[in-house]
Amino acid sequence: MNQNTDNLVATTDLTSLRSILLKLFIDLAYQEGDFTLSSGQKSTYYINGKQVTLNAQGALAIGRLILAMLPEDTSAVAGLTLGADPIVSAVSVVSAYENRPIPALIIRKQAKGHGTQAYIEGPTLPTGAKVVVLEDVVTTGNSALQAVERLQAAGYTVKDVISLVDRQQGGAELYGNAGLNFQAIFSITDFQEAKRNQ
């Protein structure tokens, strides 16, 4: 990115910011070909979200966009390690700059084997605190649902899941059946159209 684009990420309106983020994903993270996903499924495309979420401008754009999507009463953002770690961190940092500080929680896949043996890392919130689960790429939806279940078991209220990308392979339906609101910044069709129009 050049200096003009770098400044835009910090200051532009959210619609333009979404376009900038889409270009980052197409340039850095989206590939077409033959791939095997972590689920074992075959796919004709692959999205390496960390190429964008760990990019300074990508993280800033993601933080600004997701912060604007959060319900007003959000107490914290959380996600399953590792994909969600940079996303929850970006949203938390941006929230501090926006005078709306929202802490980040990271959900372990396995309880740590020492100390408190906790599944959830981050500040302890009051029982019933409203936590929004964040995810990078949703396929079946199981990863974020695991985070939701861990948070609920800890006494938190979770009603919303927000993802960067929806692969449109059942995740939205899974969340709907679990009584969760689901939003994604992009669908896979956004990526495919942007790639065709390059």
What pLDDT was estimated at residue 173?
97
Q: Roughly what angle, to the nearest 10 degrees, separates helices 56-69 and 14-28? A: 140
- Check residues 44 and 115 and name the one with the higher pLDDT: 44
What pLDDT was estimated at residue 5?
62
pLDDT digits (tens, 9 = 90+) for 5-40: 667 898 999 999 999 999 999 999 999 999 998 778
Length of the chain: 198
Return d(Cα 132, Cα 82) in angstroms, integer: 17
pLDDT digits (tens, 9 = 90+) for 134-165: 999 999 999 999 999 999 999 999 999 999 99
pLDDT digits (tens, 9 = 90+) for 96-147: 999 999 999 999 988 766 555 589 999 999 999 999 999 999 999 999 999 9
Token pair for 56: 């300074």
List of domains in the chain: 3-196 (3.40.50.2020)
Neighbouring C-alpha atoms within 13 Å toward the C-beta of 168: 9
What pLDDT was estimated at residue 61?
97
What pLDDT was estimated at residue 121?
94
